[in-house]
Amino acid sequence: MNSKLLFCSVLGNKHLCISSTCIDTKLKKKFPVTIVAPIASIAAVVVMIILLFVLRKKMSSRSKSEPWIKTKRRRFTYSEVLVMTKNLQQPLGEGGFGIVYHGNLNGSEQVAVKLLSQTSAQGYKEFKAEVELLLRVHHINLVSLVGYCDEKDHFALIYEYMSNGDLHQHLSGKHVGSVLDWGTRLQIAIEAALGLEYLHIGCKPAMVHRDVKSTNILLDEEFKAKIADFGLSRSFQVGGDQSRVSTVVAGTLGYLDPEYYLTSELSEKSDIYSFGILLLEIITNQRVIDQTRKKPNIAEWVTYVIKKGDTSKIVDPKLQGNYEPRSVWRALEVAMSCANPSSAKRPNMSQVIIKLKEYTNSPHSSVELRVTATFDSDMYPKAR
């Protein structure tokens, strides 16, 4: 029987495959292409991100370990700071920045070393701001910067040493047996005013200190005054719309300008208010804020006492009457004009200096005290 059948020979044809193994091989070849390629792309992106992160971290750490300021003043290592302070053995005081230690350079030059505390409200930003400011300001009534330390997590400012501490220590009696006479107090006020005048007029751009107070007025061996602590200082443009700077309120309660406190607008008149409070403190030796008084704020208290006519309570009793009444009362007028709640009614520092210098040689005579400022207690920031 002849059956019509079609026979196809596949033997020897290398392009054809009739086994299951051939099909599996083709699938295996396609699998890496469709699955592995996307995984490789994702892995490459992840590696690039990690490399960029590591590189950025290295650059950041290098920028903190290298000096960011080109200066002739010395950059000290933390090991050198420990050597000069004998492992931080002699603290001189403590402020918002941290503890200040006594130190010695090369066994001869005395210095004050201000070390940034890890728990300080002020940080690296304030540290850097203070260094940069002190590198460009030079005045006999501003504390001089000897050098600084900026090593990893250790930050320190090295200043000239002021052997008589700060003004507050002398007024408060912490220096036993030390009572500043009126002539010395007035001279300290004038020198502090000269330092502020330089910041307001002599600096380019002009500067506002923002924390003028008795603990920031340092005294050398001859009781010459120098302003310290510039961590809160801000620059501003003189004249025009830029004469005021909107900023977060900073300063010390009692010395803080009430207008600045309410508006957050900072100008040199804020320093002038603080100086007025400082001058009242010098005259009265009263606390700037004292909740036991009928009027806690020192400016309000002075106004209250004057209106009652009991002016004998105003002058520091430690002076025991050894002062020229005209000089004291005129200085009090200057203080009250500086502490006027309205910044527009406050004098500038040049006017303050002229007035204070006039009173250094005033004749010993009585004078009627005139107080023109009106104080509203609601304007002053209250302690919480």
Q: What is the pLDDT of residue 136?
A: 82
**Could you tell me the residue ranges of all domains in the chain?**
74-160, 167-379
Query: What architecture is domain 167-379?
Result: Orthogonal Bundle (1.10)
For the domain spanning 74-160, the CATH number is 3.30.200.20
Q: What is the rounded radius of gyration, in angstroms, for the C-alpha atoms of the chain?
A: 35
Percent composition of the chain: helix, strand, coil (DSSP 3-state, to 5): 45, 15, 40
Structure tokens, 44: 């490459």
Determine the average pLDDT of the residues in 328-336: 95
How sure is the predictor about 45, in pLDDT bands with cuts at 50, 70 and 90?
confident
CB 150 within 8 A of CB 123: no
d(CA 372, CA 384): 30
d(CA 278, CA 272): 10
Q: What is the pLDDT of residue 63?
A: 44
Does pLDDT of 57 surpass 90? no
Query: 40 or 33: which carries more pLDDT confidence?
Result: 40
d(CA 275, CA 5): 119
Determine the average pLDDT of the residues in 166-193: 91
Determine the average pLDDT of the residues in 324-352: 95
The average confidence (pLDDT) of the chain is 81
The verdict on whether residue 213 carries a ligand-binding annotation is no
pLDDT, tens digit, 9 for 90 and up, residues 274-315: 999 999 999 999 999 999 999 999 999 999 999 988 888 899
Please give the backbone phi and psi of residue 67, each rounded to the nearest 5 degrees, phi first: -65, 130
What's the Cα-to-Cα distance from 101 to each of 114, 144, 156, 331, rounded to whole Å? Answer: 6, 16, 10, 35
Task: Centre a 10 Å sphere on the Cβ of residue 163 and count the other Cβ atoms it contains.
Answer: 13
Q: Which residues are catalytic?
A: 211
Structure tokens, 104: 């010695």
pLDDT, tens digit, 9 for 90 and up, residues 226-282: 999 887 788 876 654 445 666 778 889 999 999 999 998 999 999 999 999 999 999
Does pLDDT of 8 surpass 50? no
Q: What is the pLDDT of residue 128?
A: 80
d(CA 347, CA 62): 47
pLDDT, tens digit, 9 for 90 and up, residues 114-137: 998 766 556 677 778 788 888 888
Q: What is the pLDDT of residue 6?
A: 46
Topology agreement, domain 74-160 and domain 167-379: no
